[in-house]
Structure 1
């Protein structure tokens, strides 16, 4: 039986924490424009570079069985919250705690239907409904290791942190309900969450409990594409202004030198890949500045007012060169992200493949031809 032909009574299979598996799980649930990455640093600058972030997940590995905690919780309010009923569905629980609480995310028809159908259920009934949902189970099991077992004693306890309705919320799958941690804004909620995460991490480190921190954020390729479009728009405005007031600017030596360097740099394999990815995104996602979020459009127009309007030729030329530098870096980053996404897909194929028949045949062949005995003798 293949993973796409799972029977309805197929048990949940554990999914090892992995950025590729988590990102692909979002896709297989019908979610678009989301990427999941492990956070290796909790420094403020590192967190700022990840924006926009939809949620942060703390995974704690524990071997003992866990039950619901009777710690105080607040009413669900606007929050969709489900208890972690089946331990091996931890990945699904953790991700849905974020995905179903952010209106900006394209969750797809299946998840939208599931959220609507279960919205008035208790947290326990939501958790049971999730674990009994065949589509969600198949999505996770299709990504699990071929030989993974639901009998594995590794239990991952998930705690998700999200911003909603002016507050930071903690969604702990083993608590009775969501906990409202404090006031914050869409701009500073990550900083508030960082303080709480550092407090918890210090506790786990003292107790030698393994943990990992994950960011559920917008697909970086989309973010980079919007930045490219903004840079290219500002570049066009600068060129138009220079052409109008300083027609000979393109003859400047530093401009001509940079144009040659730029053409050479774009032959780099990574930059080429980024350019191809950008062309694809132009046709499928964001074509112009009018497709960008309003706040990004406003930031771009503000930059035009402060840095471009009524500037002398020398300053405009310097800014034009800087934008060319920025564009090259964006193409490089986009190429890296596109390659990473492709590697994620390849990892899923490798994880799902059953290598046992091949290994058995190889060993049988080595034995039949008398090579195995010699190999073992050489290794001893």
Structure 2
């Protein structure tokens, strides 16, 4: 999805076809970007059923939540951001790597990038890969300039384009079409804190410290997601969750 809040209207230089919420598509893309084939995405079919959760390999390195945007959600975002200034984090001391969304309809890509740029998932990125190059160029920079690293990466754009039309549903014909679903990521960062990462917000959202035994499928993170779902008063069931987890080499 593209940013929709009136106070955050932006001009875009690039427009991407949105990614389908599909573990196979996300897995193919992260492998093209240089993440080891030892990691993959899997659907999380329940936030509450311990038997279904037990099927998911651990540790879970990152989550991608897909949900319908509503006026209530947008209003809450505006209220929260009225109390915060723009994020200016950069450099190796930055506890979490955050990317400001500057490519229209690419929130799925930003959620994916947030997941593999942080925590233990980052250790699975191959040297001299597309993602390694993005991190090397982007980490020293403040958010506006870091965003340009993503925009200007032809390798990233080509890898994305090679999978964007895949999946079980037909992709929009026009990348400028408005999409009513949004993607955000949850990661356990290098400082042990749980972060919600959304390139459409003003910066990363620190949700507090996790214990050394907790990953992003811990009860702490699951309850955050349950709260977001409860907040949706439309009765929509169009929420989906994917986890970045160990897979087969």
Instruction: Tell me if both proteins adopt one fold, taking TM over 0.5 as the criterion.
Output: yes
> Normalized per residue, which structure has more helix?
1
Task: Give the deviation of 1:11 after TM superposition.
Answer: 4.8
Conservation of the 8 A alpha-carbon contact between 2:108 and 2:182: no
Cα deviations across residues 184-213 of structure 1 (Å, max 9, x unaligned)? 124224221011011001112x23453321
Q: 1:200 aligns with which of 203, 221, 228?
A: 228
Distance in 1 (CA, whole Å) between partners of 2:231 and 2:241 is 14
Residue in 1 that maps onto 2:67: 60
1:128 aligns with 2:132: no
- The 3-state SS of whatever aligns with 1:129 is helix
Shift in alpha-carbon separation, 1:122–1:48, aligned structure 2, 3 A = farther
Residue in 1 that maps onto 2:200: 174
Distance in 2 (CA, whole Å) between partners of 1:79 and 1:141 is 27
Distance in 1 (CA, whole Å) between partners of 2:176 and 2:19 is 12
Residue in 2 that maps onto 1:107: 125
Task: Give the deviation of 1:168 after TM superposition.
Answer: 1.1
Distance in 2 (CA, whole Å) between partners of 1:102 and 1:154 is 30
Distance in 2 (CA, whole Å) between partners of 1:201 and 1:29 is 31
Distance in 1 (CA, whole Å) between partners of 2:39 and 2:133 is 19
Aligned Cα root-mean-square deviation (Å): 2.8
Residue in 2 that maps onto 1:16: 20
Q: 2:99 aligns with which of 82, 90, 97?
A: 82
Provide the TM-score with structure 2 as the length reference.
Answer: 0.74
Higher RCO by CA contacts (8 Å cutoff, separation 6 or greater): 2
Conservation of the 8 A alpha-carbon contact between 1:87 and 1:155: no
Matches within 5 A, 1:322-333: none
Distance in 1 (CA, whole Å) between partners of 2:41 and 2:17 is 20
Shift in alpha-carbon separation, 1:75–1:188, aligned structure 2, 3 A = farther
Shift in alpha-carbon separation, 1:157–1:125, aligned structure 2, 3 A = farther
Residue in 2 that maps onto 1:307: none
Cα deviations across residues 229-286 of structure 1 (Å, max 9, x unaligned)? xxxxxxxxxxxxxxxxxxxxxxxxxxxxxxxxxxxxxxxxxxxxxxxxxxxxxxxxxx
Residue in 2 that maps onto 1:116: 136
> Normalized per residue, which structure has more strand?
2
Cα deviations across residues 74-106 of structure 1 (Å, max 9, x unaligned)? 774311001222232222211110101034442
Residue in 2 that maps onto 1:314: none
1:184 aligns with 2:210: yes
Provide the TM-score with structure 1 as the length reference.
Answer: 0.50
Shift in alpha-carbon separation, 1:186–1:207, aligned structure 2, 3 A = farther
Number of residue equivalences: 211
Unaligned runs of 5+ in 2: 1-12
Conservation of the 8 A alpha-carbon contact between 2:194 and 2:210: yes
